[in-house]
Amino acid sequence: MTFVRQNVGKRGEEAASSCLEKAGYRIIEKNYRCVFGEIDIVAEDGDCIVFVEVKSRRSSSYGPPQLAVDYKKQRKISMVALHYIDEKNMRGRNARFDVVAVQFHGPETSMELIRNAFDLAF
């Protein structure tokens, strides 16, 4: 991954964290990693644990950022989420998957929070 792509991703995650906090989420963890992969943000929204995937783009050449969260990506996120729930002894908690789509337009940034973006994928 190039430095430019890493920078876009990092800026996107920072913007998404702010967006989530303004929406009332409580950030628990960022960039949780395990043997199955990574989840960008783990948060709480009321009594629900939320696994958040952040997708950022500098242009719309490849379509909206949220389209990058395809079935393969959903499966990977699902496996990481199940591992997280087991590791943190959170079985029985309500959980969901959200996506934050971040689009950078020069100095402007637009974001879309997609709650309950997908179901657990196997």
CA–CA separation, 40 and 17 (whole Å):
10
How many folded domains does the chain comprise?
Answer: 1
Whole-model pTM: value is 0.91
Q: Does position 62 have pLDDT exceeding 70, yes or no? A: yes
Q: What percent of the chain has pLDDT over 90?
A: 76
Question: Which pLDDT score is estimated for 108?
Answer: 86
Residue 76 sits in a domain whose CATH number is 3.40.1350.10
Is residue 38 within 8 A of residue 31, CB to CB? The reply is: yes
Residue span of the structural domain in which 90 resides: 3-118
4-38 pLDDT, tens per residue?
A: 566 777 889 999 999 999 999 999 999 999 999 99
